[in-house]
Amino acid sequence: MISFQRFKAVLWARNIEFWRDRTALLWNLLFPILLVVGFAAAFSGDPKAEFKVGVMESSMPIEELTAIEQTKYVEFVRYQDINKAQDKVRHHELDLLLDPMNAEYYVNDSSPKGYLVEKILLQQWPALTKHTVSGQAIRYVDFVVPGIIGMNMMFSCLFGLGYVLVRYRKNSVLKRLQATPLSAFEFLTAQVVSRLLIVLCIASFLFTACYFLVGFVMRGSLGLLLLTAVLGALAMISLALLIVSRVRSEEFAGGMLNLTTWPMMLLSGVWFSLEGAAPAVQQFANLLPLTHLVGAARAIMLDGAGFADVQQHLLVLVSMTVGFLLLATYWFRWQGDGR
């Protein structure tokens, strides 16, 4: 028989428990506000551009270029490497590429947006020389698959490991392990390897399933892509260890993990390119491990990039892994700090 008194007692006890957990309470009040403020700062401003034009860097002012850049609803992105920019036009990632120093432009004749931008451009600068490029268009699904797989790895690394450690600490499992000869480094390293194997197995399954379902573009080396996945997973696993290195409250851990995952999900290039975004947004994005994982994976899959092309991303991931793991080992507490 159901007892309302027992139900009321448990309900009251749980509410009091949550109320007394000041960190969780504060987080539940502040997180929605922080999220709204973050969205407002990142995505406020002028309406979204309809066309995207690459412009080769020029040290000298050009009057026609100044006038063209005033065109509304056209986003202009600066490039220094003309070969990289031409590849983006070839794959429809840029609608048109303008080289003001040589008074010429590059357009893909199979691009509808490129055709329209060309007409607008020639109205203001009719003396430009035209060059055409051709290549397979990059579909949105080709662009977004690396981001989705990377995002899934991020959630698996952070939440899959973070909540487990907090539960171990809360249930006194870590307290019992502390009485054994096991060191913090040994325990954490074992957790890293275990989670890495799980994440790689899941990511491999998703990669294979998506390939047969939608047939996305894969131009680069599978071995290099695997190396990128390993380094990216290690960086995010180490970050999870650092976040929960001394946390006892599952509510507080959930808030901290959400604070970490939401910016990565929105600002790491998972759903859209950050080219042309505000410099402050791009600089912040470069501090996130998912940015480098997705950036390297996308370059390998879509552009056929080699090790030299993505080594900067890989070095950043290695540095993050070492830094996070050392800090997590230093801050780790078997029993936590009460939160």
pLDDT in tens, 102-112: 888 898 877 78
Residue 30 counted as domain residue:
no
95, 193: one domain: no
pLDDT value at residue 36: 55
Mean pLDDT of the 320-328 span: 89
What total number of domains does the chain contain?
2
- Percentage of the chain lying above the pLDDT 90 cut: 12
- Identity at 254, one-letter amino acid code: G
Claim to verify: residue 123 and residue 221 sit in the same structural domain:
no
- Residue 220, domain member (yes or no): yes
Whether 89 maps to a domain, the answer reads yes
191 versus 207: the higher-pLDDT residue is 207
Query: Which of 92, 112, 133 is the C-terminal boundary of a domain?
Result: 133
Indicate whether 279 pLDDT > 70.
Answer: yes
Contact 130, 174 (CB under 8 A): no
Kind and range of the H or E run holding 305: none
State whether 232 and 115 are in the same domain: no
Residues 150, 71 share a domain: no
Q: What is the mean pLDDT of residues 87-94?
A: 78
pLDDT at 12 over 90: no
Query: Do 197 and 327 fall into the same domain?
Result: yes
Domain of residue 314 covers: 140-331
Mean pLDDT of 220-231: 92
Res 321: pLDDT = 92
pTM for the whole structure: 0.70
Same domain for 318 and 250: yes
Mean pLDDT of the chain: 78
DSSP, collapsed to helix, strand or coil, labels residue 125 as: coil
Of 87, 107, 133, which closes a domain? 133
pLDDT at 13 over 60: no
Helical pair 222-243 and 250-267, crossing angle rounded to 10 deg: 140
Please state, as a whole number, how many other Cβ atoms lie within 10 Å of the Cβ of residue 201. Answer: 10
Q: What is the pLDDT of residue 224?
A: 93
For 44-60, write each residue's pLDDT tens digit: 555 566 788 888 886 55
Q: Would you place residue 223 in the very low, low, confident or very high pLDDT band (cuts 50, 70, 90)?
A: very high
Name all contacts of 189-194 with Cβ < 8 Å and 24+ positions apart.
Answer: 191/161, 191/164, 191/165, 191/237, 191/241, 192/234, 192/237, 192/238, 192/241, 192/325
User: Domain end: 83, 110, 133, which one?
Assistant: 133
pLDDT score of 92: 73
Residue 312 pLDDT:
93
CB atoms within 10 A of CB 215: 11
Summarize the confidence of residues 84-110 as an average pLDDT. Answer: 82
Q: Please check whether residues 278 and 323 belong to one and the same domain.
A: yes
Asked if residue 62 is part of any domain, the answer here is: yes
